[in-house]
Amino acid sequence: MAEKHYRSVIKAISWRTVGTIDTIIVSYFITGNLVMAVSIGSIEVITKMFLYYLHERAWDRTNFGRIKVAENDYQI
C-alpha cells in the first residue's frame, strides 16, 4: 500500500499536537502556572514547525541513506 500525501500531512499535524500538549504539561509541572505553560506551548509549536522545515531542507540536500531506484521499480 502507498501512502497518500494528505495522510503524511495529517500525521505531521497530529504528532505536532501531541508534542505541544507534552510541552504544555511539562511546562506546567515546572512553572506551576497554566498561563505560562500554554504560552510556552504556543511559542514552541511555531518554532518547532520552522525548525522542522529547516531540518527537512537540510536533509533534502544530502544523499545520505538514499539509493537509486529504477524508474519502473518505483511505486506510488
Helix, strand, or coil (residue 70)? coil
Q: Are 44 and 20 in contact (CB under 8 A)?
A: yes
What's the mean pLDDT when you consider all of the chain? 88
Please state the length of the chain. 76
**Contact present, 21 and 41 (Cβ < 8 Å):** yes
Q: Is the pTM of this model over 0.75?
A: no
Q: How far is CA 4 from the centre of its chain?
A: 17
What are the tens digits of pLDDT across the range 34-62?
999 999 999 999 999 889 888 888 888 88
